[in-house]
Structure 1
């Protein structure tokens, strides 16, 4: 078993999970956020940080009300078809019946769009 590692924060890790480097990173990150280590508010560095923070600030995400998914899209399957061809038909029907729902559907498939009736969807 490894010997305990004392981090700059004074904690001991008996299992070797928190190595000295990780402890130093934790210590440095806490030192940076400590109020005594902030740059003076009247300095150029402070102004640069303030401007950068303003530029990088993200706006609140737009919340969308989910579109109603139709229970029936008006097609009754007849005959036989491959599952890929059937999926292609369903996706095309969904595009016509509920375009706002179809716009949020994400598919992952190999490039077989022409042979599987997915060409119109892709």
Structure 2
């Protein structure tokens, strides 16, 4: 998965914005309702950090060498995916979607309703 493909896919979800929240111009974060669900370094693009269910995160690390504990993140809830490897883009897209959905599920009901309204208005 290329950096452009990654960005395009992340931006395809409802209510998503992108930002450089860490006072640099290299760490790009994708957010839904101000909550991060995907992060990458745009200069190196060596890894994509994605939120993941803790049990699934451990399982994926055992199954794929391109899936590692989240770099600079809570290693229980985040994985780092090496995008330039043997993984199919469809598999990475599935994990990005899972990350987005986990973040949406954790939003307050008020924010979820606002997100739903944004989708209806599109």
- TM-score normalised by length of structure 2: 0.21
Instruction: Work out which structure has the larger RCO, using CA pairs closer than 8 Å and 6 or more positions apart in sequence.
Output: 2
Larger radius of gyration: 1
